[in-house]
Amino acid sequence: MKPDMLDKIKKAIKDAVKGDFYKHRFKDIDIDGINSKEDFEKLPFTDKKDLRDAYPLGLQAVPDEEIVRIHSSSGTTGTPVIIPYTKKDVEDWAVMFKRCYETAEITNLDRIHITPGYGLWTAGIGFQAGAELLGAMAIPMGPGNTEKQIKMMIDMKSTVLCATSSYALLLAEEIAKRGCKDEIHLKKGVIGSERWGEKMRKRIADELGVKLYDIYGLTEIYGPGIGMSCKYECGMHMWTDYIYFEIIDPKTGELLPEGEMGELVITTLCKEGAPLIRYRTHDLTRLMPGKCECGLDYPRIDTILGRSDDMVKVKGTIIYPSMVDSLLSTIDGVSSEYQIMIDHLFGKDILTLFFETSLEKGKKTKELEKTVEREFKAKIGITPVAKAVGMFELPRSEKKSNRVFDNRY
Ligand code: ZN
């Protein structure tokens, strides 16, 4: 850690404790006594549950008159998290987002087709604010209505598609089905930070004929736009003038060395409305070693490999969805789409792996199932029950795909 980073972090902590949330959490901590990286690393983590407990506006760290907007993270598991933003937070976010577009060499001549949702969720409006600051034409579609998406994409000559990977795949498949690829003007895809495998990536890129970029972010920390991949496709540059990040062992909380996979933890350096100190994102990634060929001086994290919560243990073996992605990408005849069900039957765990294939059901798919089972055992360590299904039989979603269903508990 550079000395000026420590100064920035100390200032961020001092600002954070002006609000009740950190005033309470850090009441026994001598902030002036934080004088090294090691001191900082002794501070407790903040987790999503703490943010939920602060519902509705317990995170607010500045007076009411300074708050200009709120966003909320999806409340799929009960109470949502409300994040208040000041005018400066909103502006900072747009500056970061503009930098994301520039990192992908997107210019003010581009027409940016935005499919992530608008509203309480941060995504859509972030993509739009960044596009407008860049001077590009924003096409604020929001999700859904595939028919209209494709028509607008053709008529407006959209050059950049912003989407989640699963929605980009759905659109790519629909365009292929309709045979209208020649009428599409897309050159680049900016794909939200959902974990996605190489095979899915290649399919989207090939079918849409675009170069793909990964964008990183989460509602709790501005939203999408705090990190972005460049044309060298070697991880995402993180905007460390706005955030400080660490990679920890999700089980022990210990800091991990460069290159090792763990959970991403973020501290905001200048967020006013709802600053966060050592926030656990639950996203699995690693710090990429070395410098990027593009010359950008911002450190990189790897493509998100999954959620630390998605990690499952079956018969004593730890499995991340990304392991299954890369396994399936090596087997001919298997598509990128799959689903895992884990059940506990007759006293033992059973892992069933459904995968899509374009092969006709019969002897060939039976052989493919055997191959998948054999490869799974060889590379991951346990034998699943593999089941081939036809193309498009597994659900696609406009938001994030859920691929692992643990029915044991
Ligand atoms: Zn780069």
Domains and CATH numbers, the chain: 86-307 (3.40.50.12780), 312-406 (3.30.300.30)
pLDDT for residue 194: 67
Burial of 302 (0-12, 13-18, 19+ CB in 10 A): buried
Ligand 1 center from residue 292 Cα (angstroms): 5
| Residue 286 backbone zone (phi > 0: left; psi -120 to 50: alpha; other: beta) | beta
Ligand 1 center from residue 98 Cα (angstroms): 16
Whether 144 and 398 have beta carbons less than 8 Å apart is answered as: yes
H or E segment and range at residue 265: strand 262-268
H or E segment and range at residue 168: helix 165-178
Ligand 1 center from residue 400 Cα (angstroms): 26
**Angle 17-30-25 (CA atoms, 0-180°, nearest 5)?**
45
Q: Over its length of 409 residues, how does the chain's per-residue pLDDT go in tens digits?
A: 888 999 999 999 999 999 999 999 999 999 999 999 999 999 999 999 999 999 999 999 999 999 999 999 866 567 899 999 999 999 999 999 999 999 999 999 999 999 999 999 888 999 999 999 999 999 999 999 999 999 999 999 999 999 999 899 999 999 999 999 999 999 999 998 666 677 888 899 999 999 999 999 999 999 999 999 999 999 999 999 999 999 998 878 999 999 888 899 999 999 999 999 999 999 999 999 999 999 999 999 998 878 887 778 888 787 887 788 889 989 999 998 899 999 998 889 999 999 999 999 999 999 999 999 999 999 999 999 999 999 999 987 655 567 888 888 7
Ligand 1 center from residue 245 Cα (angstroms): 18
Ligand 1 center from residue 117 Cα (angstroms): 28
User: DSSP letters along 196-253, please?
Assistant: --HHHHHHHHHHHT-EEEEEEEETTBBEEEEEEE-TT-SSEEE-TTTEEEEEE-TTT-
Ligand 1 center from residue 178 Cα (angstroms): 36
Ligand 1 center from residue 300 Cα (angstroms): 8
Whether 22 and 277 have beta carbons less than 8 Å apart is answered as: yes
Ligand 1 center from residue 236 Cα (angstroms): 8
Which 8-state DSSP code applies to residue 302? P
End-to-end CA distance of the chain: 42
Ligand 1 center from residue 211 Cα (angstroms): 15
Residues with Cβ within 8 Å of 117's Cβ and at least 6 positions away in sequence, in order, are 123, 124, 142, 143, 398, 399
Ligand 1 center from residue 343 Cα (angstroms): 42
Ligand 1 center from residue 104 Cα (angstroms): 9
Length of the chain: 409
Which residues, by Cβ under 5 Å, contact ligand 1, an ion? 230, 292, 294, 296
In the sheet that 111-114 helps form, which strands lie side by side, from edge to edge? 137-140, 111-114, 160-163, 188-191, 211-218, 223-229, 236-238, 300-301
Ligand 1 center from residue 151 Cα (angstroms): 34
pTM for the whole thing? Answer: 0.84
Provide the 10 A C-beta neighbour count for residue 122.
27
**Angle 199-200-203 (CA atoms, 0-180°, nearest 5)?**
90
| Residue 318 backbone zone (phi > 0: left; psi -120 to 50: alpha; other: beta) | beta
Ligand 1 center from residue 215 Cα (angstroms): 13
Ligand 1 center from residue 296 Cα (angstroms): 6
Query: Count H helices, E strands: the chain?
Result: 11, 20
Ligand 1 center from residue 237 Cα (angstroms): 7
Ligand 1 center from residue 269 Cα (angstroms): 22
Whether 353 and 331 have beta carbons less than 8 Å apart is answered as: no
Q: Which residues pair with 228 in a beta bridge?
A: 215, 237
Ligand 1 center from residue 229 Cα (angstroms): 7
Ligand 1 center from residue 257 Cα (angstroms): 21
Residue tagged 């954070």 (tokens): 16
What is the spatial distance between Cα 235 and Cα 228, in angstroms, rounded to a whole number?
8
Ligand 1 center from residue 93 Cα (angstroms): 20
User: DSSP letters along 345-379, please?
Assistant: ETTEEEEEEEEEE-SPTTHHHHHHHHHHHHHHHHH
Ligand 1 center from residue 6 Cα (angstroms): 25
